[in-house]
Amino acid sequence: MQIGPYQLSNQLIVAPMAGVTDRAFRNLCLRYGAGLAVSEMLSSNPDVWDTDKSRQRMMHSGEEGIRSVQIAGADPDLMANAAQFNVEQGAHIIDINMGCPAKKVNKKLAGSALMQDPQLVKEILQAVVSAVDVPVTLKIRTGWQPEHRNGVEIAHIAEDCGIASLAVHGRTRQCMYKGFAEYDTIKAIKQNVSIPVVANGDIDSPEKAKFVLDYTGADALMVGRGAQGRPWIFREIHHYLETGKKLPPVEASEQREIMLEHLNKLYELYGEYKGVRFARKHMGWYLNQEEQRQFRADFNRLETAEQQYSLVECYFDELVNF
């Protein structure tokens, strides 16, 4: 898949997820088969850029692959300024968030709330595309609510404004993450525009990935929650799409190395205090089976990086020796 001058190595993209797709997670996903990883959402409000959270998200040193940075907001001028600022910080692609369903984002009329106002959508897209010399992409939902799926309309606006590619999550804002994603709207969008379309929503296995790709005719797939605790899912999907065969399950020894590396990168990125707390969430995703409940409980009580690292080592040592 091509986005502006950038040729992706494949058609698999890591979805931007607040509090998840930091540099440590993105680099892991890229190494295990993703062709592109989009950063966590950054506010277009410059008043918050000096916070620890924003500084972490705007730091791209050591970043692997093509750097795609997502921005969010509802003011065309602020969004244009944010795009320029992030390009100056090293962004290769600017992605615009019109898909987030979170209340704290939508109450500011940003995220998927913008789909209620096609004219404002147009003004924001025009402002951002005109402000930077890098490709601008857009992520939307199928609409605001099931009775008002206007994804095709927004897609036409995006194409007219010069958006380089469009990612579509197969739910409306009202649906949040409940129920099942629907792909008919994504299929209709693909049939109505000539820009690349990326299908997103409930892609959690190689078989589901192939189904969604075939059904929608999309140019690429975007995987979000399916990659939490499974950065190797991109390798599995890519192999299945290329060969029609499934890879064997990841061996415990490889999972051990991935998790330990992830821990180290979290501590390095956030420092010990915050890194330990972010690690609890990620390790819970890696080891989320019922029989792993005790491990999660023990891990979540630990307060130091050394304790966490040691517990993961011991867990896999026992698993392999068993």
Annotated binding site: 16-18, 70, 139, 200-202, 224-225
Rounded Cα distance between 312 and 317, Å, is 9
Which residue bears the tokens 């009775």? 147
Q: Using the 8-state DSSP alphabet, how is residue 148 labeled?
A: B
Q: Are 295 and 286 in contact (CB under 8 A)?
A: no
CB atoms within 10 A of CB 322: 6
CB-based burial of residue 321 (10 Å sphere; 0-12 exposed, 13-18 middle, 19+ buried)?
Answer: exposed
Q: Residue ranges for the binding site for FMN?
A: 16-18, 70, 139, 200-202, 224-225
For 23, residues 6+ apart whose C-beta sits below 8 A from its C-beta are 59, 60, 62, 63, 265, 269
Q: Are 202 and 191 in contact (CB under 8 A)?
A: no
| The one catalytic residue among 29, 100, 161, 175 | 100
Radius of gyration (Cα) for the chain, nearest Å? 20
Rounded Cα distance between 153 and 24, Å, is 36
CB atoms within 10 A of CB 143: 23
100 annotated active-site: yes
Structure tokens at 16: 């931007």
Cross-strand partners of 137: 95, 165
Query: Which residue from 186, 174, 178, 189 is spatially nearest to 221, judged by alpha carbons?
Result: 186
Which are the catalytic amino acids? Answer: 100
